[in-house]
């Protein structure tokens, strides 16, 4: 990977992601990512880990490696830390660079389209208060990510990616879309809970009757032919 002055790095983030994959070291360490993203900080790392959870999260064990740092990032963002801090053990965690390159092929074309359309807007969505709320949401979503739920990483990873993209690009529209997705999920959960609350008093007796039906039928048959 070429040497860059990360503190004055003006490359598009998509190019940063590509350059990371060109290095010959087969292991991609989290510490390398922190250095490569430079001043882009929280947003860049949230976006990266969100995208990687989408692209390679199906590989067993990767959601723990990719989700655990997001817990720390969410906590630090919620507590208004100026600079990202990660413990040494986290910086030494790594994923296969070959898997990273394959995953990048999946998300890069769509991401480049988003990057071209993005611009700073809706500054209220990137305010200090908003960052605190985003940090809390990221912490909770990252907790879901590391749970061993088959396919359960996709939606949280998409939302975290949108938060990270919005923070990095100062694009409040991306953040608004992320909050809208959370709102829709909560609304859907509420509707399902209410529907179950209203319908379950009628369904449970039917389920009990169906459950007992085979034994009742057998008793009827044995009574009819055995008596």
Give the strand pairing for 94-96 and 27-29.
antiparallel
Question: What pLDDT, on the 0 to 100 scale, is given for residue 121?
Answer: 92
Question: What pLDDT, on the 0 to 100 scale, is given for residue 57?
Answer: 62
Per-residue pLDDT of 69-85, as tens digits, reads 888 889 989 988 877 77
Report the interhelical angle of 13-21 vs 97-117 (nearest 10°): 170
29: helix, strand or coil: strand
**Bridge partners of residue 189, in order along the sequence:** none
Neighbours of 205 (CB within 10 A): 10
Cα distance between residue 188 and residue 182, in whole Å: 10
Question: What pLDDT, on the 0 to 100 scale, is given for residue 51?
Answer: 83
- Segments in 23-171 forming alpha helices (H): 30-37, 41-56, 62-78, 88-91, 97-117, 128-145, 154-169
Q: How is 176-210 classified by DSSP, letter by letter?
A: HHHHHHHHHHHHHHHHHHHHHHHHHHHHHHHHHHH
**Bridge partners of residue 171, in order along the sequence:** 121
Question: What pLDDT, on the 0 to 100 scale, is given for residue 50?
Answer: 86
Length of the chain as a residue count: 227
Question: What pLDDT, on the 0 to 100 scale, is given for residue 9?
Answer: 63
Task: Tell me the pTM.
Answer: 0.74
Cα distance between residue 117 and residue 192, in whole Å: 36
**What DSSP element (H or E) covers 226?**
helix 172-226
Handedness of CA 31, 162, 132, 38 (dihedral sign): positive
**Bridge partners of residue 96, in order along the sequence:** 27
Question: What pLDDT, on the 0 to 100 scale, is given for residue 63?
Answer: 67
Q: How far is CA 184 from CA 149, 150, 175, 190, in A?
A: 21, 21, 14, 10
Residues of the chain with pLDDT under 70: 1-9, 38-39, 57-64, 149-152, 200, 202-204, 206-227
Rg (C-alpha) for the chain, rounded Å, is 24
| Residues near 15 by beta carbon (within 8 Å), at least 6 away in sequence | none
């Amino acid at each position: 990977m070429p040497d860059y002055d990360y503190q004055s790095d003006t490359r598009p983030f998509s190019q940063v992601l590509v350059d990371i994959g060109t290095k010959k070291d087969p292991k991609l360490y989290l510490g390398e990512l922190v250095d490569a993203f430079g001043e882009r900080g929280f947003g860049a790392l949230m976006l990266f880990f969100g995208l990687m959870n989408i692209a390679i999260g199906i590989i067993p064990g990767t959601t723990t490696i990719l989700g655990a740092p997001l817990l720390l990032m969410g906590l630090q963002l919620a507590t208004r830390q100026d600079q990202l801090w990660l413990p040494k053990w986290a910086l030494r965690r790594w994923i296969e660079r070959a898997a990273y390159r394959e995953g990048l092929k999946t998300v890069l074309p769509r991401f480049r389209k988003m990057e071209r359309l993005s611009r700073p807007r809706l500054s209220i969505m990137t305010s200090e208060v908003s960052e605190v709320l985003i940090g809390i949401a990221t912490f909770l979503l990252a907790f879901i990510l590391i749970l061993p739920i088959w396919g359960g990483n996709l939606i949280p990873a998409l939302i975290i990616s949108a938060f990270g993209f919005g923070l990095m690009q100062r694009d409040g529209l991306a953040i608004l879309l992320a909050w809208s997705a959370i709102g829709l999920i909560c609304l859907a959960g509420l509707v399902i809970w209410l529907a179950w609350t209203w319908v379950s008093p009628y369904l449970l007796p039917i389920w009990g009757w169906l459950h007992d039906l085979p034994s009742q039928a057998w008793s009827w048959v044995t009574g009819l032919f055995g008596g």
